[in-house]
Structure 1
């Protein structure tokens, strides 16, 4: 394992994932019988923090959970993964978040409904209380599952401290484009890039056009994750397509974006350049999609290094 440098600080939510496998999505008013149910720790920030810790990065998680059964599951998940919870707040008055995930039996594609629960009660003062840890970090990573004013405040704090910021603008929400000037790195998938730019992203040429819009609106680097086509990286001085890694049959794509972002942040913390870090993130995602679940699918460091070695 490489010598560790500065830690990563991730802000996001915990949501207990309830994943239902089914042959079809129900219409409103319709009930369908699923083939299986699985539960696991989730929430994009949680998945990213757990994945980064599994990859060997010292990882802090900033969020809020309830003092309920789901909150106890969250604490156990962070403890097992080695995620630092110095800035994990507890709210006795709000329920911990949860997510309903519907998975297609045949393709592994997914549809998700998430309720952030107690994480939405995080305050700017609680974010500010982590400023010393943020200042010591190699990068600050967050998403759009928390209220945008909290995300904007945290990104602005990290930037004021000179810490590189990584925004995974997921899920796609109205107003997220206003965060771009605070982003050293923005990492949308095709759907999120289209929501941010108004442009389709179905080819590499379209990915480059969308990246240009993201850069023009203030992001320093645009890194579009393109599923089976890998990732596209662009900045004022960089432009490169990074192919996806084939680590086996695709089982579940739910955690792919989280795996990429965790791998990318962990690689930055080790001093890798942007292209190499994005390639590392693609390798992490390539393994994650071969397994069911979100945080349980996140690979260990030795697995990623073995995959990279096979594709050297």
Structure 2
């Protein structure tokens, strides 16, 4: 176990996730348009998204008991959010705001290989603050796992991590999207889980080889993280602590259709497995299986697999 990980998870099993909801508007085409150019796309889908929201739905569908903290507007996109949580079994601690739009995301999906590019406007969720975290202090302090990212304001994420750390709750931090963050945040994190682009931004060098990934993991540990987990797309993930460094291969569940939300699927599955007191490396493999299934389907939250599907893939791999 890395430093700070609680083997008993305080006897609790719940997962609390702080993050944003954004209505995903996904357009499939061969490429992005140039400025002043109009392209015809081949497909369009509207559905629930946002990193924290996706992670919450993924964790719930993977078997976790999940509370999600966020804000949405009182508008049709906000209703999509609440309906998605009800369907997935997520306890939604979500403030609906008058006069502020719900967050939205433009997603370009390359119709040939499923790769994506995203622009997010957080909307109401951009107003998440320390007061939202304080209003959910009891949920956080009673949880087994607290997880957050960086689509909502940084101060809210740090405050949530501090509350969780003080209560002995295992903390998972996804430093996404990539941005400059204070080093103090790492000491609050049992697990820091970036992808190869995000970690390259943090450490200042590319992560294209195994040695580069391990070097990046070392830097995260030096900054104070208990464990670094670097997701590497088709290469799988690196599980890296002061005592153990292991590359866990990606799994295949079929043809890749859409990689949007793959990292969120991984994190939701990882948190669900960790909340069941599985060994962290085993939880990473569970996360890889969750992501492997999600990328065979279009969309983000709707693509997240059920627990039975994850178990079946793991048993056959």
> Pairwise CA RMSD of aligned residues?
1.2
Equivalent position of 2:289 in the other structure:
283
Deviation at 1:179, TM superposition (A): 2.2
Whole-Å Cα distance in 1 between the matches of residues 293 and 185 of structure 2? 30
Equivalent position of 1:49 in the other structure:
56
**TM-superposition CA deviations, 1:178-226 (whole Å, max 9, x none):** 5222211011000001011112101111110100011111111000000
Deviation at 1:22, TM superposition (A): 0.6
Does the 8 Å CA contact 1:176/1:196 hold for their aligned counterparts? no
Does the 8 Å CA contact 1:140/1:163 hold for their aligned counterparts? yes
Equivalent position of 1:207 in the other structure:
213
Change (3 A) 1:152 1:286: same
Q: Report matched runs for 1:73-152 at 5 Å.
A: 73-85=80-92, 87-152=93-158
Whole-Å Cα distance in 2 between the matches of residues 244 and 175 of structure 1? 29
Whole-Å Cα distance in 1 between the matches of residues 183 and 87 of structure 2? 35
Segments of 5+ residues of structure 1 without an aligned counterpart are none
Q: Report matched runs for 1:151-170 at 5 Å.
A: 151-170=157-176
Equivalent residue in structure 1 for 2:248, among 217, 234, 242: 242
Equivalent residue in structure 2 for 1:251, among 254, 257, 262: 257
Q: 189-198 or 89-98, which moves further after superposition?
A: 89-98
Whole-Å Cα distance in 2 between the matches of residues 277 and 259 of structure 1? 13
Deviation at 1:174, TM superposition (A): 2.1
Is 1:22 equivalent to 2:29 in the alignment? yes
Whole-Å Cα distance in 2 between the matches of residues 69 and 23 of structure 1? 30
Equivalent residue in structure 1 for 2:67, among 60, 71, 76: 60
Whole-Å Cα distance in 1 between the matches of residues 156 and 172 of structure 2? 15
Whole-Å Cα distance in 1 between the matches of residues 187 and 205 of structure 2? 19
Change (3 A) 1:177 1:110: farther
Does the 8 Å CA contact 2:128/2:153 hold for their aligned counterparts? no
Does the 8 Å CA contact 2:61/2:88 hold for their aligned counterparts? yes
Equivalent position of 1:265 in the other structure:
271
Q: TM-score, normalised by structure 1?
A: 0.96
Equivalent position of 1:71 in the other structure:
78
Tell me the number of residue pairs that the alignment of Structure 1 and Structure 2 aligns: 307
Whole-Å Cα distance in 2 between the matches of residues 126 and 13 of structure 1? 12
Whole-Å Cα distance in 1 between the matches of residues 158 and 87 of structure 2? 30
Is 1:33 equivalent to 2:40 in the alignment? yes
Does the 8 Å CA contact 1:169/1:176 hold for their aligned counterparts? no
Change (3 A) 1:176 1:308: farther
Is 1:6 equivalent to 2:13 in the alignment? yes
Change (3 A) 1:158 1:5: closer
- Secondary structure at the residue paired with 1:25? coil
Q: 173-182 or 296-305, which moves further after superposition?
A: 173-182
Change (3 A) 1:293 1:210: same
Does the 8 Å CA contact 1:177/1:196 hold for their aligned counterparts? no
Deviation at 1:126, TM superposition (A): 2.0
Whole-Å Cα distance in 2 between the matches of residues 199 and 181 of structure 1? 22
Does the 8 Å CA contact 2:255/2:296 hold for their aligned counterparts? yes
Whole-Å Cα distance in 2 between the matches of residues 31 and 197 of structure 1? 38
Q: TM-score, normalised by structure 2?
A: 0.94
- Structure 1 moving runs of 4+ over 4 Å: none
Deviation at 1:129, TM superposition (A): 1.6
